[in-house]
Structure formats: structure tokens, C-alpha cells
Amino acid sequence: MEKIVIATKNEGKVGEMREALSHLPVEVVSLRAFGDLPDAVEDGKTFLENAKAKAAFYEKRTGCICMADDSGLEVEALGGAPGGLSARIVPGPDQARNDWLLSRLEGRLDRRARFVAALALAIPDRWTLISEGECLGRIATAPEGKGGFGYDPLFLPDGMSASFAAIPPRMKNAISHRAAALRNLLEIL
């Protein structure tokens, strides 16, 4: 069975990928399986540049097929922010970033947003495959649900009245930005 390393220490992302790849004969593992690896530098100008850099960085250090993503939330009324800074716009837990976002959107009617994901799959001694996906939606006025991670309690996908954090994980995994990018990547494979 082939091993695919998901280049993150975020167990929420690893769980999503494990579920999404469960129909394939692969073992999905996180970076935690390799001990204390250094963090990859994420200084690209785009989600795709960061995903490619992370995939190559960890493929070299693990010797395994490595899948990396870079993803984030882009809010129309904030000019695309937090964008590439989604995970680090405010230090601390997810709740701090959610509070930041709600404070920036207070009183605004335009709450359109999109989650964007870029995936890169680095295969040792071969090539790197890339893919992108998005999920359109809007930002709620208050957090909703107990599931998911990051901005999930605030993101209402188009056509739904419940947040990513309030819908079943399988439903989220079927419609999310990461799922769209993964579908595109599997088509390439």
C-alpha cells in the first residue's frame, strides 16, 4: 500500500484528506508520523506557490509521496482579506480569527466570501501535480456549529443556510474548496 503524507500538522485537514482518499489503496499519514520536522517556509505570493513549496519540502524530508495544500478565506468586502494570511492574520486560536473577521464585517451587508484551496502532490523522483478549487458562500453574523476548524463556524456555502461547522463532515467534504481541488487532482492522476 502506497503512503501519502499530508503536509500539515492540522489534524482537521488530515482527517478531511483521509476521508476523501478512503476509496483508494493508500495509507494517509500526517507529518506527525515523522517526528519533529521543521516547518516549510510559506512565502509565496499565491496559495499555489505555497502548496508547491510545502509539497517539495516535505517530500525531500520524508521520501514519500507528499500532498500539501494552502488554502484560505477571501472576503469580498475586505478586498480579499484575510487571503494568504487566513491562518495567521491574528495570533491565537481559531476563535480569535473568527472574532477578528466578525468585527471587520460588523454592519456590512456584503458578506460574500469564498474558500480557496491549492493542492500540490510531489512524487519522489518524478513530478509535482497541482490543482485548485473553491467554494463560494457568505459570512454569517455569528458562529454556528461545533464541527470543522478555522473559519468553518462562520462560512455559509452558497445554497445552504448552515455553516461548514454545522453540517455533517461528509457533506462538507463533498462540497468544500479542498474537495474541489482534490477532485481535480484525482482526475489528473
Task: Give catalytic residues, as residue numbers.
Answer: 70
What does the alpha-carbon distance between residue 40 and residue 4 come to, in Å, rounded to a whole number?
17
Q: Which of 65, 64, 69 is nearest to 54 (CA)?
A: 69
| Beta bridge pairs of residue 155 | 139
Cα angle at 39 between 25 and 80, to 5 degrees?
90
Determine the 3-state secondary structure of 159 from DSSP.
coil
Q: Quick check: 12 and 74 in contact, CB under 8 A?
A: no
What does the alpha-carbon distance between residue 172 and residue 156 come to, in Å, rounded to a whole number?
11
Q: Which of 165, 123, 124 is nearest to 146 (CA)?
A: 165
